[in-house]
């Protein structure tokens, strides 16, 4: 085992990928580099679906296959087994159906999460579950609770149902021997309500082990102070705190809303200050590992290398179960496989769901990959390097 990690090692990164799979990925990431193509695809796909055109098989063999594990749990089984057998990479099964709006939809999402829990309990390669709060309740309700507005009787009933859904899935995960559950991120104007529920679940279920993880978006300037609040919560209740640290995904939306409603933007001033806030957050968590478990959710190679360096400096084992790295399925295999090769705990988010239902997720992935300074060019560079290596092996 080497003392250094080389994220340019494509032989390890793509060791489980066939030439056909690499060529498909090269084609997809090449297309994603054209932002105008992604912008055109969204309305065209909506038209195609409304017209009942049979495009599902095409989508499933291309962008769906690249970024998703399957349409259901059994289809995902082959993918999560391949990740584990090919590099001891763990999986987080992410039910990526978005846009739920009715109580029936929210109950259906909960039922799916409970099925994932039952499926994952005896799968050693699936250590985490994840859910977005908007899958269990209306975001407008989270916002109203967050901003302290009074709820009418009907809204109170709905809020009780939201809390019960949170409780039900966290309780089911807590009853297993080692599964953990992650509360995913939403926009900042919903955070007070979401954080309150996550904290309630941590106080209740993180007494013996770290069951519940909350997401901390460090592109928001005040979230470093929130980590300090979580430490005090842990000390007060004698519990462990699970945190997934991310930079964040709603920067432009946050700034636009602040401008529209005339309040100070909660987002860090620029990328440099965001990176500093993120690095400070990681350092703070590492300084308090008696309280925290850390999940680093990032595709930033430098951030991963910095965490590796800090772990070595502190004499923390690569396989310490309090430290996790995570990337999305279909992206940044150079990070995931090279970290796993060195014995670090690595997971891939493996989205799944019916093709048409996960299209909002796939379109968001496409938009992120086609943005300026996106991941696509880096993915293309690595894929080309590996194809060349296979053509002319040393």
Q: Shortest CA distance to 213 belongs to which of 306, 328, 55, 322?
A: 322
The per-residue pLDDT for range 211-256, each reduced to its tens digit, is 999 999 999 999 999 999 999 999 999 999 999 999 977 777 888 8
Mean pLDDT of the chain: 91
- Specify the pLDDT at position 277: 95
Residue 372 pLDDT exceeds 50: no
Residue 37 pLDDT exceeds 70: no
Percentage of residues in the chain with pLDDT exceeding 90? 75
Confidence category of residue 143, pLDDT binned at 50, 70, 90: very high
The per-residue pLDDT for range 59-99, each reduced to its tens digit, is 888 888 999 999 999 999 999 999 999 999 999 999 987 76
Helix (H) or strand (E) holding 232: helix 223-237
Q: Shortest CA distance to 131 belongs to which of 155, 151, 115, 154?
A: 115
The per-residue pLDDT for range 292-314, each reduced to its tens digit, is 999 999 999 999 999 999 999 99
The count of C-alpha atoms lying within 13 angstroms of the C-alpha of 280, restricted to the half-sphere facing its C-beta, is 18
- Specify the pLDDT at position 101: 84
Residues facing 212 on adjacent strands: 181
Two tokens, residue 349: 């988010």
Two tokens, residue 319: 């396989």
CB contact set of 144 (below 8 Å; sequence gap of 6+): 151, 155
User: What is the arithmetic mean of pLDDT over 166-184?
Assistant: 97
- Specify the pLDDT at position 207: 97
User: What is the arithmetic mean of pLDDT over 34-38?
Assistant: 65
- Specify the pLDDT at position 36: 60
Rg (CA), the chain: 21
CB contact set of 93 (below 8 Å; sequence gap of 6+): 69, 73, 76, 80, 116, 119, 120, 126, 129, 130, 350, 352
Most confidently modeled of 39-43, 92-96, 133-137, 291-295?
291-295
Distances (CA, A) of 21 to 28, 66, 105, 326, 363: 11, 9, 35, 22, 21
Helix (H) or strand (E) holding 50: helix 35-50
Distances (CA, A) of 141 to 53, 95, 113: 36, 22, 21
Q: How many residues does the chain have?
A: 394
Instruction: Give the Cα-Cα-Cα angle 167, 345, 375 (nearest 5 degrees).
Output: 95
The per-residue pLDDT for range 312-363, each reduced to its tens digit, is 999 999 999 999 999 999 999 999 999 999 999 999 999 999 988 888 887 7
User: Residue 42: is it exposed, middle or buried by C-beta count within 10 angstroms (0-12/13-18/19+)?
Assistant: middle
């Amino acid at each position: 085992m080497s003392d250094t990690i080389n994220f340019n090692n494509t032989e390890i990164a793509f060791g489980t990928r066939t030439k056909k799979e690499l060529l498909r990925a090269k084609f997809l990431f090449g297309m994603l580099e054209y932002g105008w193509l992604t912008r055109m695809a969204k309305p065209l796909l909506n038209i195609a679906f409304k017209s009942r055109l049979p495009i599902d098989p095409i989508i499933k063999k291309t962008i769906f296959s690249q970024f998703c594990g399957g349409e259901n749990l059994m289809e995902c089984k082959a993918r999560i087994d391949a990740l584990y057998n090919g590099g001891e990479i763990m999986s987080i099964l992410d039910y990526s159906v978005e846009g739920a709006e009715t109580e029936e939809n929210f109950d259906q999402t909960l039922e799916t999460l409970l099925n994932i829990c039952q499926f994952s309990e005896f799968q050693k390669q699936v250590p985490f579950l994840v859910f977005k709060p908007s899958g269990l309740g209306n975001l407008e309700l989270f916002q109203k609770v967050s901003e302290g507005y009074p709820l009418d009787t009907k809204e109170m009933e709905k809020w009780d149902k939201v809390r019960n859904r949170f409780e039900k899935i966290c309780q089911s995960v807590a009853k297993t021997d080692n599964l953990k559950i992650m509360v995913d991120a939403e926009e900042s104007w919903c955070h007070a309500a979401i954080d309150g529920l996550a904290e309630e679940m941590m106080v209740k279920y993180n007494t013996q082990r770290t069951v519940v993880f909350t997401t901390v978006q460090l592109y928001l300037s005040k979230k470093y102070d929130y980590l300090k609040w979580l430490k005090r919560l842990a000390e007060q209740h004698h519990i462990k705190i699970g945190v997934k640290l991310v930079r964040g995904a709603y920067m432009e939306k946050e700034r636009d809303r602040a401008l529209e409603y005339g309040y100070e933007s909660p987002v860090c001033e620029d990328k440099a200050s965001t990176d500093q806030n993120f690095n400070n957050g990681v350092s703070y968590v590492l300084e308090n590992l008696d309280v925290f478990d850390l999940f680093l959710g990032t595709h930033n190679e430098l951030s991963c290398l910095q965490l590796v360096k800090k772990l070595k400096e502190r004499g923390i084992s690569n396989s310490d179960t309090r430290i996790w790295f995570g990337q999305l399925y279909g992206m940044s295999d150079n990070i995931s496989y090279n970290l796993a090769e060195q014995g670090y705990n690595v997971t891939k988010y493996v989205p799944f769901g019916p093709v048409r239902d996960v299209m909002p997720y796939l379109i968001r992935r496409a938009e992120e990959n086609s943005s300026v300074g996106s991941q696509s060019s880096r993915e293309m560079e690595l894929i080309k390097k590996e194809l060349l290596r296979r053509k002319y092996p040393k």
